[in-house]
């Protein structure tokens, strides 16, 4: 999947087998793994990161609202006691 000198290996197999089928295999393997599966994997990782980031931001907002509500409650109780 790294695509580091894969064409040299492909040429070696084509010379040894005296055919074009190793070239078809290597090109199709590259297309499937690099262009399809690797992009799917990266998109899943980015989607999960986005969902986690959104939920963390919502949780932070919820906590700040609860702290504000608690502060308002204590102010209200303090005003009523006086």
| pLDDT over threshold 80, residue 63 | no
Question: Which structure tokens are listed for 81?
Answer: 């006691």
Average pLDDT, the chain: 83
Question: Which structure tokens are listed for 2?
Answer: 């790294």
| pLDDT over threshold 70, residue 50 | yes
Q: For the whole model, what pTM was predicted?
A: 0.53
The pair phi, psi for residue 19, each rounded to 5°, is -155, 175
pLDDT score of 2: 61
- pLDDT band at 1; cut points 50, 70, 90: low
Q: How far is CA 4 from CA 21, 30, 73, in A?
A: 20, 11, 64
Per-residue exposure over 15-43, b if at least 16 CB sit within 10 Å of its own CB, e if not? eeeeeeebeeebeeeeeeeeeeeeeeeee
| pLDDT over threshold 80, residue 12 | yes
| pLDDT over threshold 70, residue 36 | yes
């Amino acid at each position: 999947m790294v695509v580091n000198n894969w064409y040299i290996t492909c040429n070696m197999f084509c010379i040894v087998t005296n055919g074009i089928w190793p070239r078809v295999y290597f090109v199709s393997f590259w297309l499937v793994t690099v262009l399809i599966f690797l992009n799917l994997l990266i998109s899943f990782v980015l989607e999960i990161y986005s969902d986690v980031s959104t939920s963390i931001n919502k949780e932070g907002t919820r906590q700040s609202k609860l702290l504000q509500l608690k502060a308002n409650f204590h102010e209200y109780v303090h005003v009523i006691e006086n």
